[in-house]
Structure 1
Amino acid sequence: MNIPQSTGATGPKKTGGNGWLILVVAVALLFAIGKCSSTTGGASSSATVAENVGNAQEALVTAVAAQPPSPPEPLSPAGVRRGAARVSIAAKEELAGEMIYSQNCYDHVARAFSWRKLDECGGFDAEASSALGDGEPVGAEKEVAWFDTEAAAGRYLKAAVAAGLDADVADLRLAALQAKVNARHEVKPEAAPAVATPTGEPDDKSEPTDEEENVTAAV
C-alpha cells in the first residue's frame, strides 16, 4: 500500500551561517554609500543628502547585526590614533578623499566587524569633524553632512550597539574616544623654571634653635 507523502510545510532549512545575508547587506551598504558619495550635475538638496547619510547608517547597522557576535573589547587607543592620523593623508584629496576613506573604513566594519577597526573609523571621523570646524566649503554638502558631529557619532554608536554593546556603555566609549582625539590638539604648558631658594646665613634676629638654647643654659 502506498503511504501518501505529507504535503505540510516543512521547517526552514539551516544554511550553516549568515554568510549570504552579510554579503547582501554589505552590497546594500555599498550601494547606499555610493549614492551618498556620487556626484551629479546639480547641487543635491539637503533633504536628499541627509536621507542618503541615514540610509548608509541603517545599512551599516543591519550588516553588523547580521555578523556573528563579537565579545566587547576595551577601547583601542592604537586604533583611535591610527584613524585620527589618517585624516592628514586623506585630506590630500580634500574633503572628498576624507569621506571616501571614512566610507571604506565603515564598509570594512560592515563586512568583517572588529572593535579595533570600529575605533579606527570613529577616531578618523572625530578628527575629520574637528578639522572641519564651523565653515562649510561651497559644493561640499555631502561631505559636510557625512562628517556632521551628530551623524559621525551616530554611525559609531549604532554600529557598537548592533555589535552587542549596551547603549550607555557605547556612549561612554565614544566620549573616551573623542577625549583621546581632542587631546591631540591640546597645547601642553611649558614647565615653569625652577626658582632658586636663598640659602644665606640666618640674621641676628632669628629665633634661637632648641640646640642653641640648651647650650646657653649649660653655660
Structure 2
Amino acid sequence: MPAVSTRNDEDTHLGTTLTGAAVLFVLLRLLAVSHYDWHTTFALLHTLDLEDAPGLFLGTFMADQRISSVLLVLMVPLTVFYAAATRSKSAPLLVTVLVAFLVAHVLTYHHWWVPVAAVVLATLLGVLAVRRRGVERGPERFVLRRIGWIVGVVALVVAAVVATPWVPRERIETGEGVIEAYVVETSPGFLKVLLAGDREFRILRDDEVRSRVELADH
C-alpha cells in the first residue's frame, strides 16, 4: 500500500510539473511574439483556447528556420542515441517523426548542412559511448538521465527568444491600405491580428478586409 501511495505522489508531482512547464511555455511565447509588451501579451492571451496548444507548440519550432535548423541538429542525434541506449518503445516513433521533420526542412530550405551536422554529432556521441564502454558513466550517462530536463529547458529557451508567431504571416488588404500581419484569431465578423512590424494588436471587421494572401516567408 505505501508503494502505491508513493507512485501516486510521483504521478501527481510529474503532472504538476508538466502543467507548470506548459503554462510557462505559453506565457514566454506570448511575451516573445509581443516583444515583451505587457498589454499586447494580455490581448494575445485571450485569443488562445486549450485546443490551440498543439499548434502553438509545433508552430513555435517551425516558425523560424534558423531555430528549427539548430534544434534538428541537436534533437535528431540525441533522440537516436537515447533510443539505441534505452531501447524505449516510444523512442523509435519519436525518431521517425524527427527524421520526417528533418527531410521536410531540407527539401524546403535546402539547408544540406543540417543533416550533415546531425550525423557528425551522432557519430561523436557514438564514439564517446564506445570509448567508455557504453553509457555507464561520462557525458552519455548525463544526457540519458537528464534528456527530459534538457528538452524542457531547450523548449523554454526557444519559447522566450523566438519572436516569430506560431501562425503564418499574411498580406491583408483593407479599406485603409495593405498591412502585413499574423491572424491570431478568426471570430464571426472579426479578425484579430498582430502587425508584423511593430507588433500592434488590432481587431479588423470582416467588411474591412478585401483580400488575404499568405506569405511564404514567415
Question: TM-score scaled by structure 1?
Answer: 0.23
Structure number with higher strand proportion: 2
User: Which structure has the larger Rg over C-alpha atoms?
Assistant: 1
- TM-score normalised by the chain length of structure 2: 0.23
